Each structure stands twice: as C-alpha cells, then as structure tokens.
Amino acid sequence: MAQKFLKCRVGNGENTSFWFDSWTPFGRLIDFIGTRGPCDLRLSLTATVSTVSNGQSWTLPQPRSDSVLDLHIHLTTVTPPVASAEPDTYAWMVNGTDCDKFSSAKTWDSLRPRSTIKPLPTKDKLLSWGLNIQPSCCLCTTHPEGRDHLFTSCGYAEFIWHHILAKLHRSHLFYSWSELMSWIRRITTASPTLKMLATQVTVYNI
Ligand SMILES: [Zn+2]
C-alpha cells in the first residue's frame, strides 16, 4: 500500500530499483511492463536506474511492446543519471502532490471512499437505534457484532492483524478497540505514524 505513495527522485540512480521503485509516472515498472519485462529488456530484477544510463544517454534496448515504447518516450524528457549527481531521495506523494514529509491525514483522505463520508455503523449501534436485524457479526456470524469484535477480535480481523503486526514487531493481537488506540499512541519500535497508517488501512479493508 505504501508503495502507492512513495516516489523516487532519481539523483545518481544507484539506490533506485529499476523495476520495483516508482521513479516514472507509470508507477512500478514491473507492474507497468509486466513480468516479461526483465527478459525483454535484458535487465535483472536487481537492476538500479543507474544500470540503464551511461552518464550521457539511456541505454535501454529497442522497445518491443507499447508499454516499453511509452517508457522510452518518457525518458526522452528525463536527463539520464550520472555518478557525480546527488544520491536518490524518496518523496511521499498524495494525488500527485509532494507532501514534503509523511502526512497521515492527507494519505487517509486519499484512501477513504468518497461516497461514504460517515463510517458505517456496526450492528450493535443499529440495534441500539431499534433496527430489527440479526446481531451476529457479518464476517464470522458467531459473535455479536460491535466495534471491539469486528475490528480486533473477529477471526477475520485477527487474520489480517496477525500479518500486519508481525511487520510492526508486536507479538500479540488486540482485545479491544481502546487497546488498539493506546498502542498507536505508545512509544514502541514502530513509529506512531506507521502504526496509524497500518491501522487506517486495516480498518478500512475490514
Ligand atoms: Zn466476527
């Protein structure tokens, strides 16, 4: 998910991955050109952008597909990297705008669906408003659906959190929404902004 926002500004091209970093308007070239790309362009998956420059011009082979042709056309507008240039840098871009630094608010604003400004109420809320509905969780159907259950302790939520938290160095799952919120605020090895973004994306996807 973060790759969608992380853009490379190529300096000397030595740290930017040709295939896996987003350094052109086309996003990751492995997605844009496809998995045959490394073979067609005779460029390994570990190639950097500096690999395709001799310091004066781009050294890509002749295009054999429309997407590679588009890349060639774009590169005619870009100065090839030279070894004496500054190191490559990364920028956090939201909707084409450089945020200067990571912005959780702007990132979430671009991720959230436009048609649902207000969060969908969980079933315990709907029941408290007098609606005649089944109280069971819409995902597992075995527990009453409330915020604590749906977003932290439902088996489906736990499955997603298990993978997310492994990357954030937390070994156990959450029991409640308030425990999740206090974890975001607490100082841990993972930064609060990263935890907040991970939480936003996880809750949105559940
Ligand atoms: Zn459930």
Q: What is the DSSP string of 92-159?
A: EEETTEE-SS--HHHHHHHHS-TT--SPPPPHHHHHHTT-----B-TTTSSSB--HHIIIIISHHHHH
* Average confidence (pLDDT) over 174-190: 87
Calculate how far, in angstroms, residue 121's C-alpha sits from the geometric centre of ligand 1: 15
Calculate how far, in angstroms, residue 120's C-alpha sits from the geometric centre of ligand 1: 16
pLDDT at 128 over 50: yes
Calculate how far, in angstroms, residue 124's C-alpha sits from the geometric centre of ligand 1: 12
pTM for the model: 0.50
Average pLDDT, the chain: 84
pLDDT tens sequence across 97-125: 665 555 666 666 666 655 444 567 788 88
Calculate how far, in angstroms, residue 161's C-alpha sits from the geometric centre of ligand 1: 14
pLDDT of residue 116: 46
pLDDT tens sequence across 139-171: 899 999 998 999 999 999 999 999 899 888 888
